Chain A
Amino acid sequence: MIEVRDLKKSFGPQRVLDGVSFRIETGESVVIIGRSGCGKSILLKHLIGLLTSEEGEVLVDGENLGRMNERQLLRVRHKFGMLFQGAALFDSMTVAENVGFALRRLGKLTEAEIAKKIGEALDMVELPGVEEKKPSELSGGMRKRVGLARAIVYQPEIVLYDEPTTGLDPIVADSIDQLILRVCERLKVTTVVVTHDMRSARRIGQRIMMLHRGKIYVTGTPDEIFRSQDPVVNRFVNGISDPKELYF
């Protein structure tokens, strides 16, 4: 269970998160939506302790991340897997080395067992036979799949996705959505997805939260969000710009 209480974060004079509070139950699949630059990725990084807030708390299974040092956070991060926006694969390593990285660092399994787990994770993301390739040889969609395989290979309890479909064509984006649903279903993990791809949000989320002006503006089921008559939500969901505002 993840609980966020009155989280505030600024970068210089700009306040990005201005009192964000919510709760995500174990096994739940939540999508956080919001406009580009509204602080979605910043919020996601707070959930795993990659960033620390000025005020407020992030609790993971009752443990307050704000009170932990980097070494104590490592223990909590064993519960997490994270897929980054650009996949963040280690470019000096092969796909197999990337996927098996966490298992090797744990040092509990033999090389044969690690190789088996790597194979299973790559099968799950439908990328068999790419073990010896370097990340630079892969397409954007393949990199995201490898990133996902790396995030789930050690069977975490919570998987965080930062813009999983951004920059991908609609077909590949759809396959990534299918993959996220499959991972969620098979591994019974808590899923938190940050996206502004509304099609993706509708398919993946059991619950959607919209971040607007540093706060959770609205929370609801996908149907509630898509039927909302609130002008801010409605404009975002339907991709309608406000002529009074400049968006570029």
Chain B
Amino acid sequence: MNFFSNKWIAEWLQGLGRITLLCQEAVHSLFTRKITWRDLIYQLHFIGVKSQSVVLITGAFTGMVLCAQTYFQFHKVRMDTATLAVVSVSMASELGPVLTALMVAGRVGAAMAAELGTMKVTEQIDALRTLATHPVDYLVVPRLLSAIIAVPLLNAEAIALGIGAGYVLGVSLLGIDPTYLWQNMLKYTVATDVMIGVIKSFIFGGIVAVIGCYKGMSCGEGAEGVGRATTEAVVYSSITILISNFFLTISLGELLSYL
């Protein structure tokens, strides 16, 4: 038992070390190497444009469910018109960035790990290196940069659609007064909530790209290795997003309150 727990801890620390080195190399490359615009645009299209439908559906239905559930509780204490304020604050600072990032992790993180994993097992990454190309420059940087750009934009869309869907549901189906509903939402949603959401989505975008690329580039041999890397990319990204979200909520709330 002791041997296995020591081995697990050693492997976990080694993995953490390797992922830190990958981040360091990627950030260094981002600021010192020339960006290949063609690859960046391709990745932006893949991560941003092609994730639209899944993120928008998630945002809209989450906004509506949150609106309905909040209304059912608030209605008991005659606070119907505060419903959209709760939806708005929750979507902007918590649900929008987290759910967007989880959806992107499932779709894009998995694809990154599978693509890079396949490249590794078919020696394409070794071929890149023999052609005097650093894999981090060519494979990781465009994906990381695209994720950092695309995830906040997807997050903004999910938040906007969630609030919009909540508003439509509240007014048309639940019969809440539209003017008070809208005004209360504006009154109780402050810039800090939006800032927290934006900062989180930048960080979550980076997490998805780095873990997806790391898992792909360090995957084991054969189809089994690629399959495991893909699964681990999604699981580890999702767990990292959920855990870091807690710490970001605590720290960003404190930090932004001083500004």
Residue numbers of A with Cβ under 8 A of B are 45, 48, 50, 70-71, 73-75, 77-78, 80-82, 84-86, 88-91, 101-102, 105-107, 150-151
Nearest CB to that of A153 among chain B residues? B131
Complex interface: chain B residues within 8 A of A74 (CB) = 129, 132-134
4 shortest A-B CB distances, which residue pairs?
A88-B127, A88-B123, A82-B130, A102-B131
A73 to chain B: closest residue by CB: B129
With most chain A CB atoms within 10 A of its CB, the pick from B119, B124, B127, B138 is: B127
Question: What is the 8 Å Cβ interface bit string for chain B, positions 109-138, against chain A (1 contact, 0 not)?
Answer: 000000000010011101101111110001
Residues of A within 8 A of B127 (CB): 82, 84, 88-90
Query: Is A48 a contact partner of B130 (Cβ separation < 8 A)?
Result: yes
CA of A45 to CA of B127, assembled, Å:
11
Query: Restricting to B80-127, which residues have a CB under 8 Å from any CB of A?
Result: 119, 122-124, 126-127
**In the complex, which residues of chain A have a beta carbon less than 8 angstroms from the beta carbon of B126?**
45, 50, 84, 88
Q: List 14 A-B contacts (CB under 8 A).
A: A50-B126, A73-B129, A74-B134, A75-B132, A80-B130, A82-B127, A84-B127, A88-B124, A91-B122, A91-B124, A102-B132, A102-B133, A105-B131, A106-B132
Interchain CB contact under 8 A, A50 and B129: yes
**Could you tell me the distance in whole angstroms from the C-beta of A140 to the nearest C-beta in chain B?**
14
CA gap between A106 and B34 in the complex, in Å = 11
A105 to B39, CA, bound (A): 12
Asked whether, in the complex, the Cβ of A78 is within 8 Å of the Cβ of B132, the reply is yes
Q: A70-B134, A86-B123, A107-B34 are in contact. List 6 more A-B contacts (CB 8 A).
A: A50-B126, A50-B130, A88-B124, A102-B133, A105-B132, A151-B130
B123-A101 in contact (CB<8A) = no
Please, which residue of chain A has its CB at the minimum distance from the CB of B119? Answer: A90
The tally of residues in B whose CB lies under 8 Å from a CB in A reads 14
* CB pair A81 B130 closer than 8 Å: yes
In the complex, how many angstroms separate the beta carbon of B216 from the nearest chain A beta carbon? 14
A91 to B118 alpha-carbon distance, docked (Å): 10
**Are the CB atoms of A71 and B134 closer together than 8 Å?**
yes
Which residues in A have their C-beta under 8 angstroms from that of B134? 70-71, 74
Which residues of chain A come closer than 8 Å to B34, judged between CB atoms? Answer: 107
Binding site for A on B (CB under 8 A): 34, 119, 122-124, 126-127, 129-134, 138
**How many Å from the CB of A115 to the closest CB on chain B?**
17
- Return the chain B residue nearest A90 by Cβ: B124
A78: chain B residues at CB < 8 Å are 132
**Residue of A with least CB distance to B135:** A70
Q: Which of B34, B119, B129, B131 has the most CB of A within 10 A?
A: B131
Tell me whether B129 and A77 are in contact (CB under 8 A).
yes
The distance in angstroms between the C-alpha atoms of A194 and B123, with both chains bound, is: 16
Interchain CA distance A50-B129 in the complex, whole Å = 8
CB-nearest residue of chain B to A105 = B133
Complex CA distance for A106 and B36, rounded to whole angstroms = 12
Kindly list chain A residues whose C-beta atoms are within 8 Å of the C-beta of B119: 90
Contact partner of B122 (CB less than 8 A), chosen from A81, A86, A102, A151, is A86
Return the chain A residue nearest B123 by Cβ. A88
Smallest CB separation, A4 vs chain B (Å): 18
- A106 and B122 alpha carbons, distance in the complex (Å): 24
**B129 — which chain A residues lie within 8 A by C-beta?**
50, 70, 73-74, 77
B87 to chain A, nearest CB (A): 42
CB distance from B7 to the nearest CB of A (A): 13
Contact B122 A77 (CB under 8 A): no
When chains A and B are docked, how far (Å) is the Cα of A247 from the Cα of B245? Answer: 56
Question: Could you say which residues of chain B place their CB within 8 Å of the CB of A90?
Answer: 119, 124, 127
Docked Cα-Cα span, A75 to B132, in Å, equals 7
Q: In the complex, how many angstroms separate the beta carbon of B160 from the nearest chain A beta carbon? A: 34
Question: Closest Cβ of chain B: how far from A159's Cβ, in Å?
Answer: 11
Nearest Cβ distance between residue A85 and chain B, in whole angstroms? 8
User: Shortest distance in angstroms between A94's beta carbon and chain B's nearest beta carbon?
Assistant: 14
> What chain A residues lie within 8 Å of B133 (beta carbons)?
74, 101-102, 105
- For A70, list chain B residues within 8 Å (CB): 129, 134
Q: Which of B122, B129, B132, B138 has the most CB of A within 10 A?
A: B132
